[in-house]
Amino acid sequence: MSEFEEVSAAQVKRRVFLSGLAATTAASLLSAVPGVGQQEKSSTRSAASSNDPFETTDKERIDDLVTANHILFQQGVVDGFGHLSVRSVTKPTHFFMSWNKAPALVTKDDMLEFDQDSTPLNANGRLPYGERFIHGEIYRARPDVQAVVHSHSPAVVPFGVTGVALRPIMHLAGFLPQYVPVFDIRNVAGENNRITVNTNAEGAALAKVLGNSPVVLMRGHGDAVVGPSVKHAVYRAIYTQVNAQIQLQALPLGQITFLNSMEGANVDVSNESGGGHKAWEIWKAEAMANSARLAPYMKG
């Protein structure tokens, strides 16, 4: 039996992820794994930027963030609403995110820079998302997080409004904790709240419920999914949705055997190596084809 180097590389990545080290440190660690650099070089099929598990420059991060917007639209995780961000490499308290636009229509020229309080620095009159505080407060609370997806992924909503917890039912969602936490804004803003997260205080309360989890559900609203790269966050947002849909279908059948925490952690190492790299390739192709189809009908 042969294990191949991807496991070793992925294990490093996972340790980095779990320990909350910064991306640049991760890149250093990875380059030290025997055979990894060599193997990636020897692949004749994948460009370097895709094989790179972490987006290492702000330009790379923003490029991936634009693609991620289009992927999550094409995959049905976001629709006309929802938003994604990435932490700045050069100024790690800051993050990048589009102004208030439908994700499918976002280009790199739409990206704004936000400071540690989620204040946009270069809006020039463009309206930011009202819920930018989700992103800013998660980055503040979780140094390991490099990217955040906020969506209203329909399949997850039932788990935020009933007593039934979203749990890992299949291996591609091995990253899910045993019980995905649920944030209820009523606990912060009372009965007369606005559902959405519109202040730093509300964002901080959400980040507190998220804790060390990669996903937090938001009651009557959707979820926030985080990762050590844009690619990881996209992978997790998609398979959180897939897992939720399967769990909804399995629940009427009776008691479910979920992945235990060891199984989830073990399998996630290989699933997410490179941020679900091979899946990203096809998701990106699908998203680009979709964008090209829509391009003649998009304004601005």
Q: How far is the CB of 218 from a second copy (least distance, A)?
A: 9
Q: Does 16 bind a second copy (CB under 8 A)?
A: no
Name the E strands within 61-106.
83-87, 95-98
Stretch that binds a second copy, among 17-25, 53-61, 162-170, 205-213 (CB under 8 A): 162-170
Q: Three-class SS of residue 67?
A: helix
Q: Measured from the CB of residue 129, what is the shortest distance to a second copy in angstroms?
A: 10
**Interacting positions 43-82 with a second copy (CB under 8 A):** 43-47, 50, 73, 79-81
Q: Does 115 bind a second copy (CB under 8 A)?
A: no
Residue 246-265 contact track with a second copy, rule CB under 8 A, x = bound: x-xxxxxxxxxxxxx-xx--
Of 230, 152, 240, 156, nearest to 196 by C-alpha is 152
Answer for the pair 41, 250: CB distance below 8 angstroms, yes or no.
no
Please say whether the beta carbons of 53 and 273 come within 8 A.
Answer: yes
- Which of 28, 122, 126, 211 binds a second copy (CB under 8 A)? It is 126
Q: Quick one: tokens of 103?
A: 């994700």
Q: Judged by CB under 8 A, which of 122, 162, 178, 212 binds a second copy?
A: 162
C-alpha dist (Å) from residue 300 to 51, 74, 130, 136, 295: 32, 20, 22, 28, 10
Please report whether residue 121 would count as binding a second copy according to CB under 8 A.
no
Q: What is the DSSP letter of 282?
A: H
**Nearest distance from C-beta of residue 214 to a second copy, angstroms:** 18
Residue 15 touching a second copy (CB under 8 A):
no
- Residues serving a catalytic function are 131
